[in-house]
């Protein structure tokens, strides 16, 4: 993707994020997005087939760095996020969420939060599955693997929701410790 295409895409993402913090996803029109992004309709459709596809791409862009880095996917960090990476995968996630790049926390606590939480949770499931060794000493061995993985994901999502709703007073290190203690 050349620089011009990337700038257009970023303008569309920015306009969409702004609209998502103000309105419900179902109430946003492509016309509002292109007006806010200051692009033409043909340009919008050259990048995104539909508003739903734009949402999927936005979620991919918002969370790709978080999950790609942990899965050793090669990329040049030309994503929305930049970082130096943490030792703990869960600390890394909490650190990025605390940075609130591109109003991610606003989106996660907006009327559209379930859209973003669903996407985040689906990616988190893969991440947890790849790192079950971190939780090996916490499972008595009697729990089915799928149940255990679901429990870990649900606990992380619950911890994240609690942290956001309570003003993120705890540092990412502390909230990561809380999460690891209750799993």
In tens digits, the chain (183 residues) has pLDDT values of: 789 999 999 999 999 988 988 888 889 999 999 999 999 999 999 999 999 999 888 888 777 766 665 545 444 434 444 455 546 788 888 887 888 766 677 777 776 777 778 888 888 898 899 888 888 888 877 889 899 999 999 999 999 989 988 989 999 999 999 999 999
In the prediction, which pLDDT does 58 show? 86
Whole-structure pTM value: 0.75
In the prediction, which pLDDT does 120 show? 83
Contact 126, 117 (CB under 8 A): no
The rounded distance, in Å, linking the Cα atoms of 171 and 94 is 9
Contact 97, 65 (CB under 8 A): no
Contact 155, 179 (CB under 8 A): yes
Contact 85, 92 (CB under 8 A): yes
In the prediction, which pLDDT does 69 show? 52
CB within 8 Å of 142: residues ≥ 6 apart: none
In the prediction, which pLDDT does 4 show? 92
């Amino acid at each position: 993707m050349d620089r011009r295409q990337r700038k257009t895409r970023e303008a569309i993402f920015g306009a969409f994020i702004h609209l998502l913090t103000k309105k419900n996803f179902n109430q946003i029109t492509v016309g509002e997005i292109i007006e806010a992004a200051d692009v033409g309709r043909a340009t919008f459709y050259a990048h995104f087939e539909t508003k739903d596809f734009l949402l999927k791409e936005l979620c991919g862009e918002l969370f790709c760095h978080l999950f790609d880095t942990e899965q050793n996917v090669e990329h040049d960090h030309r994503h929305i996020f930049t970082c130096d990476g943490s030792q703990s995968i869960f600390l890394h996630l909490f650190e990025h969420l605390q940075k609130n790049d591109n109003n991610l926390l606003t989106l996660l606590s907006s009327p559209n939060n379930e859209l973003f939480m669903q996407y985040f949770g689906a990616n988190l499931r893969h991440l947890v599955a790849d790192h079950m060794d971190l939780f090996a000493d916490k499972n008595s061995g009697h729990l089915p693997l799928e149940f255990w993985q679901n429990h870990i994901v649900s606990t992380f999502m619950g911890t994240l929701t609690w942290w956001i709703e309570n003003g993120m007073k705890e540092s990412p290190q502390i909230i990561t410790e809380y999460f690891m203690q209750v799993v």
